Structure 1
């Protein structure tokens, strides 16, 4: 299966041109993110300090906190960008496509774009982020919290696609939660079984995970041996 990711529009496709001050602020923000991920890849998340990130861009820590509340927020910018891209991709899927199939193709397409460095994504940043989440308990907690907070927006898009009210129908919530669990299970498997999973792209493993969900989870039990 090959999914196509939508073209990324960081400022929005219909946004007016930014003024000089806004462009400068955006460049500073991007420079802080770039510096942070370089340091994270070199030293690890926990060993990197806000002061080091700010120094790498030649700004003060005070300036850093004008853009981000913490280094966790910097690291999770990648996850935020992926989430927004998935919502856009899911909304753009054909309206007659079953909901899990549409979600599968949207998620896999965005991860493929990130792996290939397309649609404004950085493949090195994806690889770094996967390693950081597995090696830093603090960032893992932040990632899980971010996923939980963003689940409502995914549930809303799924409900709109199904034509149901999420306040009265449990199904969109179950689908959104299942998607989050599938992503988490996939990254855990790749991290914990590196030898057997070596060379398998995240997008391919995710595609397999969503295929399992599509096929159904009520697997038959193995009878006990006599």
Structure 2
């Protein structure tokens, strides 16, 4: 293994250690009470090293959500080529959410993220910002699936936007009115409504 690979693996281990330490502190002390210095100290690195990996505490808190986007992209690519784009996106998103909820990855961190989004305005704001940041990438991948140019064709960005909105509606429903439901089930419901069409009739 060459030196570059060793360095990359070491960097990845440090990043994962910072995430693990941060979530342990978030769970025990709470997000607001946890400092960057405490996260860095737990991994025995400097705060300067922390900021090589993350721009803020909020970035650490939403790092799992960023990974979920990457997992959705992978799951979307694996969907059958003939599957309609919104159906493929629905199934990819729900599959990834259920994977996290069922503990195939770190279910404790996933639950902590959901709680932080519910409790912390700062984390909620960063979460929404991240969703916005990922729209272009999601649009590009939808366009690839559709075989169209995302610059000239507005449909991929529209699909990406409504998919992002569906996920936000699901999280908000879980946070405000249906905390006993799984986010994956609420997301599946929101996507189902989109698939059925939203051109609802006006009130008589």
TM-score, L = length of structure 1: 0.83
Q: Distance in 1 between matches of 2:74 and 2:120?
A: 30
The one of 194, 200, 204 equivalent to 2:185 is 204
Where does residue 154 of structure 1 map in the other structure? Answer: 138
1:14-163 to structure 2, matched below 5 A, reads: 19-118=5-104, 121-163=105-147
Report the Cα distance in structure 1 between the residues aligned to 2:24 and 2:85, rounded to whole angstroms: 38
Structure 1 segment 4-19 matched on structure 2, within 5 A? 19=5
Q: Which has the higher contact order (CA 8 A, sep 6+)?
A: 1
> Could you say if the C-alpha distance between residues 65 and 90 of structure 1 is closer, same or farther in structure 2, counting changes exceeding 3 Å?
same
CA contact (8 A) 2:174 2:182 kept: no
Aligned-residue offset at 1:147: 1.0
Pairing partner for 2:177 from 193, 202, 225 = 193
Gap change, CA 1:55 and 1:19, over 3 Å in 2 = same
RMSD between superposed Cα atoms in Å: 2.0
Give the number of the structure whose residues are more often helix, by fraction: 2
The secondary structure found in structure 1 opposite 2:34 is coil
**Which residue number corresponds to residue 5 of structure 1?**
none
Note the residue ranges of structure 2 that are not aligned, 5 or more in a row: none
How far 1:158 moved relative to its partner?
0.6
Look up the match of 1:176: 160
Secondary structure in 2 aligned to 1:148?
Answer: helix
**SS of residue paired to 2:123:** helix
Distance of 1:17 and 1:204 partners within structure 2: 45
Q: C-alpha distance in 2, partners of 1:16/1:149?
A: 34
| Residue in 2 that maps onto 1:6 | none
